[in-house]
Amino acid sequence: MDHCAQPGLLPIEEAITRIFNSLNPIQEIETVSLPAALDRVLAADINAPINVPGADNSAMDGYALRAQDCAGELKIIGQSLAGHPFTDAIAAGQALRIMTGALIPPGADAVVMQENTLRNNELLTITQAVSAGENIRYAGEDIALNSQVFSAGRRITALDIGLLASLGIAQVNVLRKLRVAILTTGDELLISGAAPAAGKIYDSNRPLLTALLTRLSVELLDLGVVPDQPAALRDAFNQAMQWADVVISTGGVSVGDADYTKEILAELGEINLWKIAMKPGKPFAFGKLGSGYFFGLPGNPVSTAVTYHQLVVPGLRHLAGETFFVSDTQQCLSAIASHTIKKQPGRTDFQRGIFANENGINRVASAGLQSSGVLSAMAKANCYIRLEAERGTVAEGEAVTVIPFDRFIR
């Protein structure tokens, strides 16, 4: 049995549910320009102010005509270009040279591709007939006037911005950004650029979290490295809780003699959960801090990364007002283990793996040492190998669940 699989550890699914139920999503709204809307969360539904396309237009370079006239020789009476429409009507026995995107003239009901025609000066013969409606993009076919384009709670993507621009929308109403404060704890930590020192290690957690939080478009306050001193921790948390919606700390939530973070958090706020049945990342705390919330992450860098991705990211997205189902946020695949994968029953294990499709078969191998202090293996990985809590060692050739890394962890 896993020596850390103690009674009372909270299953990860229950932990996420409890976190969600504790969070009150923000409500404040602001208006931003369309280019500034990337990764922001929509505060209101958006309905189409126009049809897309705005009018019937050609899907091909060719000739606009009446489909019933395809059998005879047609007279070419002009041309229609994108942005330069032909306004006269097409009559029986007539055709109009037309380019992709150009408006369909009155009277025409089809477009024949130029490859299916023979032209002799201003006379046209159709070599392959078309049916009425063929090669025409109709007004509102993509998006109809007044139809709902996006609903409130959507996190805006680059493609969304392109779509909104095609509707002539220049500004959108979004929820304000989350304010997030981060800090790391530990007398052993050095900042990057400092000279190496005996017994010291470089702080990788704050640079890691700073980079990852940019994916969520938050306002960030970096409180730096805080020493393992109750007074210093208290001051840092008091400073953070005056401004932040969320405080994220790493280290100090275990059971060591100098692990004061959990103690100070309980003093200043309210701890709603602590210790999760997951590996890596058992010592994880969540609760209230002033009018906001806190996430206390383990100090080992891989544990920091995994708990942030699996527990904090869903919480922050929910708090930011985003509408989503947690079950839909991670693509789960089945893969064959390329070798034996060691595991003790007791906790859900998120081992770091390298996934590949070989000749149509999904396979996964370990990315390296699985210690919670070995960040290099996670940097090499492209997925989690998610092993169920009750599962033991996996034999080579057994099927496992793989979760490819998404943009929130890469």
User: Which of 157-161, 281-285, 376-380 has the least mean pLDDT?
Assistant: 281-285
CA–CA distances in Å: residue 85 to residues 100, 105, 137, 239: 12, 8, 15, 63
Number of Cβ within a 10 Å radius of residue 79: 14
Q: Which of 175, 164, 185, 272 is nearest to 216 (CA)?
A: 175
CATH code: domain 57-137 is 2.170.190.11
**In angstroms, rounded to a whole number, what is the distance separating the alpha carbons of residues 342 and 3?**
14
CA–CA distances in Å: residue 146 to residues 47, 99, 169, 174, 218: 5, 29, 13, 20, 32
The model's confidence at residue 302, banded by pLDDT at 50, 70 and 90, is very high
Inter-residue contact 262 to 270 (CB < 8 Å):
no
Q: Which residues pair with 46 in a beta bridge?
A: 150
CATH code: domain 330-404 is 2.40.340.10
**In angstroms, rounded to a whole number, what is the distance separating the alpha carbons of residues 30 and 44?**
11
For residue 387, the one-letter residue type is: L
3-class state of residue 314 by DSSP:
helix
Domain extent listing, the chain: 12-27+177-327, 29-51+143-175, 57-137, 330-404
Flag whether pLDDT at 235 surpasses 90: yes
Peptide bond preceding 280: is omega within 30 degrees of 0, i.e. cis? Answer: yes
For residue range 17-39, list pLDDT tens digits in order: 999 999 999 999 999 999 999 99
Averaged pLDDT score across all residues of the chain: 94
- Between 329 and 320, residue with greater pLDDT: 320
* pLDDT at res. 2: 43
Number of Cβ within a 10 Å radius of residue 31: 11
Q: Which of 66, 34, 226, 192 is nearest to 136 (CA)?
A: 66
Tell me the mean pLDDT in the region 1-12: 65
Q: Which of 193, 258, 189 is nearest to 228 (CA)?
A: 258
Rounded (10°) angle between helices 261-268 and 230-241: 50
Tell me the mean pLDDT in the region 47-56: 97
DSSP state of 326: G
The model's confidence at residue 256, banded by pLDDT at 50, 70 and 90, is low
Tell me the mean pLDDT in the region 185-210: 93
Same fold, 57-137 and 330-404: no
3-class state of residue 11 by DSSP:
coil
* pLDDT at res. 7: 56
Does domain 12-27+177-327 sit in CATH 3.10.180.10?
A: no
3-class state of residue 77 by DSSP:
strand
The model's confidence at residue 1, banded by pLDDT at 50, 70 and 90, is very low
Number of residues assigned to the chain:
410
Q: Which fold has domain 29-51+143-175?
A: Molybdopterin biosynthesis moea protein, domain 2 (3.90.105)
Number of Cβ within a 10 Å radius of residue 68: 12
For the whole prediction, is pTM greater than 0.85? yes
For residue 110, the one-letter residue type is: A
Q: Which of 134, 227, 169, 235 is nearest to 32 (CA)?
A: 169
Tell me the mean pLDDT in the region 175-188: 95
